[in-house]
Amino acid sequence: MDLQTIIQELQSYDGKEIKIMEVCGTHTSSIFKHGIRSIISPKIKLISGPGCPVCVTNPAYIDKLIEYAFKKDYCILTFGDMMKVKGSNMSLTNAKAQGANVSVLYSPLMALTFAKENPNTNYIFAAVGFETTTPIYSLMIDEMERNNITNLRLLTSIKKILPAMEYICENEKDIDAFLCPGHVSVVTGSDLFESIVKNYNKPCVIAGFEGEHLLSAIYEIVTQLKNKDSKLKNMYTSVVTQNGNEKALDLINKYFTTYDAYWRGIGYINMSGYGLKEEYQKYDAGSELALIPINEPKGCRCTDVILGRIQPNQCPLFAKVCSPLNAIGPCMVSTEGACGIWYKNGGGNHEN
């Protein structure tokens, strides 16, 4: 079917209201970039999910990073997204302003260069992410093993996306289908999402990030639901295979094991985190398992946003008290956070 016909079909849809969760923050950005909400029927609701790793990281994890950053001869290495997320009292940006040693990286592998060039500094790398970045962290450890790098460790907060989707299926009954994450699927393979279809009877469609990719995927979901059908469909076959990147998966399995991880705003989800295996604990800077959850800021509804209960502009703090310059919750901070994406794109004017 040609794109114009798909657009006409989606514009004219007048059936039962449909809620489609786009799990990936990059999809949320692309939906705004291509004006998808203005093209489709208001009865097709596009809802953000928990696919922002920074947004679901325990505030106590930030506190742990800050604790290290103030230690003599220690330095925190992190991506920029983590800098403004508040722990119990402050963010890494606040800590740096007070003299803490924090450096922003653009690639995890830069951490190896820092460690090699400054052997007297103890580096702690903030290893946050999903399956997409976990193979890179495995490559880091590979290099650390090979070159006997002893002054670099990882503080991990790495999540698996499928257990979170299963949690949503179990606890949030009005999500009708999933627009599955393209980047994660490159690593895991499309078969990862088969259990959602079989166990919860919800369509799962893997899509790319261009406007035509998104519209075609939404049309596929709407068609399945109209036909009372539920299938797994890979519409990103140019980069996503059935079994995924086997070399990347082998790297993950070499160094990491799964555990019951804490998701900010959600709680513990069974076997949803990646932690270093026992034989590689010398590279661990303090397992997330030991971190005690911290209460969320008063009035912040990031939990409801990442579970698809509300749109960001339905939070009473959105664009009033909470903005990128004064972020109350993590969803306003990260480039993959739904609130920050909505704010940047004038999302307060959109209701669906």
Whether residues 58 and 207 share a domain: the answer is: yes
- Domain tally, the chain: 2
C-alpha 206, offset from chain centre = 16
Q: What's the pLDDT at 287? A: 73
Residue whose token pair is 């830069």: 110
Residues 244 and 283 in one domain: yes
How far is 174 from 18, CA to CA, in rounded Å? 9
Tokens found for residue 193: 């999402």
pLDDT value for 288: 66
Q: Are strands 256-263 and 267-276 parallel, antiparallel or unpaired?
A: antiparallel
- Residue 224 is predicted with a pLDDT of 97
Location of structure tokens 């997320």: 85
The pLDDT of residue 348 is: 55
Q: Are residues 307 and 187 in the same domain?
A: no
Give the number of other CB atoms < 10 A from CB of residue 9: 18
Same domain, 127 and 246: yes
Q: Give the CATH number, domain containing residue 139.
A: 3.40.50.11740
Q: Model confidence over 172-208: pLDDT tens digits?
A: 989 999 999 999 999 999 999 999 999 999 999 999 9
**What DSSP element (H or E) covers 113?**
helix 110-117
Task: Tell me, yes or no, whether 326 and 203 share the same domain.
Answer: no
Q: Do residues 117 and 103 share a domain?
A: yes
Which of 298, 315, 335 marks a domain boundary? 298
Q: Please compute, for residue 283, the number of CA atoms within 13 A of its CA located in the half-sphere on the CB side.
A: 27
* Domain match, 313 and 194 both: no
What does the buried/exposed string (b/e) look like for 224-257 if buried means 16 or more CB atoms within 10 Å of the residue's CB? bbeeeebebbbbbeeebeeebbeebbebbeebbe
Are 61 and 204 found together in one domain? yes
- 294/307 same-domain check: no
- Please tell me whether residues 64 and 171 are part of one structural domain: yes
> Looking at the structure, do residues 197 and 340 belong to the same domain, yes or no?
no
In a shared domain, residues 231 and 268: yes
Query: pLDDT averaged over consecutive 10-residue blocks of the chain (352 residues)?
Result: 94 96 94 95 96 92 96 96 90 96 94 96 97 96 96 96 97 96 96 98 97 97 97 97 97 96 92 96 82 81 95 95 91 92 77 47
Structure confidence at residue 1 (pLDDT): 81
Give the residue numbers spanning the domain of 154.
1-298
Q: Which amino acid is it at 282?
A: K
Element holding 152 (H helix, E strand) = strand 152-159
